[in-house]
A = this chain, B = another copy of it.
Amino acid sequence: MSDLLGVAVLGAGHMGADHVRRLDQVVSGARVAAVADPDAERAKAAVAGIDGVVVHTDVEAVLDAPGVEAVLIASPGEAHEEALLAAFARGLPVLCEKPMVPDPAGALRVVEAEARLGRRLAQIGFMRRYDEEYRQLKSLLEGGRLGRPLMLHCVHRNVSSPPHFTSDMLVTSSVSHEIDAARWLLGQELTAVTVLRPRPSAGAPEGLLDPQLVLFETERGALVDVEIFVNCGFAYEVRCEAVCETGSARIGDARTMVVTAAGGARREVPQDYLVRFSDAYDREVQSWVDAARGGRVTGPDAWDGYAASAVADAGVRALETGSRTPVDLAPRPALYTTP
């Protein structure tokens, strides 16, 4: 018998298939034991060449398959609540892609269910916490060398948005990364949101409010501004500058080769988040596998998933009304630490 952690992967789309590849070829100590997808052919394609994987269209059947010791949820957000509760019922450690649950009410039900269990099972897929530069920044801020953080200036640009991307999704899907990163970097909850809408870019699909400038206030008076621009056409860029009382720190100018030719010095800029954050994804999953094999759960927790949903929900209302919108958070169960 192998001592590799047997993982059930729920969802075999773009992200699910990438995680199957990662578990099989990159991460140490894990194996893909089962895969669930409503489209059986897609599930089979994702595990082609891997031996001994149970494939099924039914989530419960996959969770109960022999050798399943942990669950990685990469299905659409709407399916997450049911999958998380099913994993909790079986006592299985879970890595759940973001958003944990898109609507705050459902997210809160997950938090309450885990709080009733009295122990953590879920890690939420905010992979930026595993990015080397974000960790440097977190460590710097926690060390206190620059004093208290006053502002975060964030930039989040995609070359283009997927089909059917809506104006709400700039906040709920794209900015959700900055929501979690800001909570984590600052160690504070976000308390209010304002969304400003410049005239849309000619490169944005008809009707999409792109770019937006999203402003967050925090419980201890810091400000976070986020440029979100999902059809910028020229780069995948994620930058963050923390402005503190005695210094500022910037991350996100990718390290790379500089080519000087034809009158300019040019460095390549990544075009895709799987390029920019590939190391972070690898570390995230490796870290989850290592903890699960040791009987532990670490990383972003269900409260982080819930808080991100609640803030994003306020952001959607702020986008619609054009007004500053307070964030409404339930009381935090004792199981969860501060962000």
The verdict on A338 contacting chain B, using a C-beta distance below 8 Å, is: no
CB–CB A269/B259 < 8 A: no
Is A317 close to B, CB under 8 A?
no
Q: Does A180 contact B (CB under 8 A)?
A: no
Q: Which residue of B lies closest to A248 (CB)?
A: B260
Which A residues, 252 to 296, have Cβ-Cβ distances below 8 Å to chain B?
253-269, 271, 279, 286, 290
Indicate if the CB atoms of A203 and B286 lie closer than 8 Å: no
Q: Closest chain B residue to A246 by CB distance?
A: B233
> Chain B residues with Cβ under 8 A from A201's Cβ?
147-148, 150, 245
Among B196, B217, B263, contact of A223 (Cβ-Cβ < 8 Å) = B196
Q: Is the CB of A297 closer than 8 A to any CB of chain B?
A: no
Please determine whether A260 and B269 come into contact, CB atoms closer than 8 angstroms: yes
A249 in the interface, Cβ–Cβ < 8 Å?
A: yes
* Segment of A25-33, A83-91, A308-316 engaged in the interface with chain B: A25-33
Nearest B residue to A30 by beta-carbon distance?
A: B28
Q: Which one of A38-46, A133-141, A168-176 is at the interface? A: A133-141
Contacts of A221 in B (CB 8 A): 198-199
- The distance from the CB of A170 to the nearest CB of chain B, in whole angstroms, is 14
Chain B nearest CB: distance from A171 CB in Å? 16
Q: Is A97 an interface residue (CB 8 A)?
A: no
Interface status of A213 (Cβ within 8 A of chain B): yes
* Candidates B2, B137, B247, B260; contact of A261 at CB < 8 Å: B247
Candidates B28, B232, B245, B265; contact of A203 at CB < 8 Å: B245
A269 lies within 8 A of B279 (CB): no
Contact (Cβ within 8 A) B136 A256? yes
Contacts of A269 in B (CB 8 A): 260, 263-265
Which of B28, B148, B211, B261 sits near A234, CB closer than 8 Å?
B261
CB closest chain-B residue, reference A155: B153
> Given that A27-B28, A136-B268, A220-B199 are contacting pairs, would A227 and B153 also be in contact in the complex, using a CB cutoff of 8 Å?
yes
Can you list, as one digit per residue, whether each of A46-65 has a CB less than 8 Å from chain B (1) or not (0)?
00000100000000000000
Q: In the docked arrangement, what's the CA distance between A293 and B182, Å?
A: 43
Quick one: closest B residue to A223, CB to CB?
A: B198
Chain B residues with Cβ below 8 Å from A264 are 266-269
Q: Which residues from chain A sit less than 8 Å from chain B, CB to CB?
A: 2-4, 24-29, 51, 132-133, 136-137, 140, 145-148, 150-151, 153, 155, 196, 198-199, 201-203, 211, 213, 215, 217, 220-223, 225, 227, 229, 232-235, 237, 243, 245-251, 253-269, 271, 279, 286, 290
Contacts A229-B243, A248-B259 known; list 20 others, CB within 8 Å. A136-B257, A140-B257, A146-B259, A148-B202, A150-B199, A151-B198, A153-B155, A213-B215, A213-B223, A227-B243, A234-B246, A247-B260, A249-B259, A250-B260, A251-B258, A253-B255, A255-B255, A264-B269, A265-B269, A279-B279
Selected A-B contacts with CB under 8 Å, 13 pairs: A25-B28, A147-B202, A147-B203, A151-B213, A213-B215, A234-B246, A247-B259, A247-B261, A249-B257, A249-B260, A250-B260, A264-B267, A279-B279
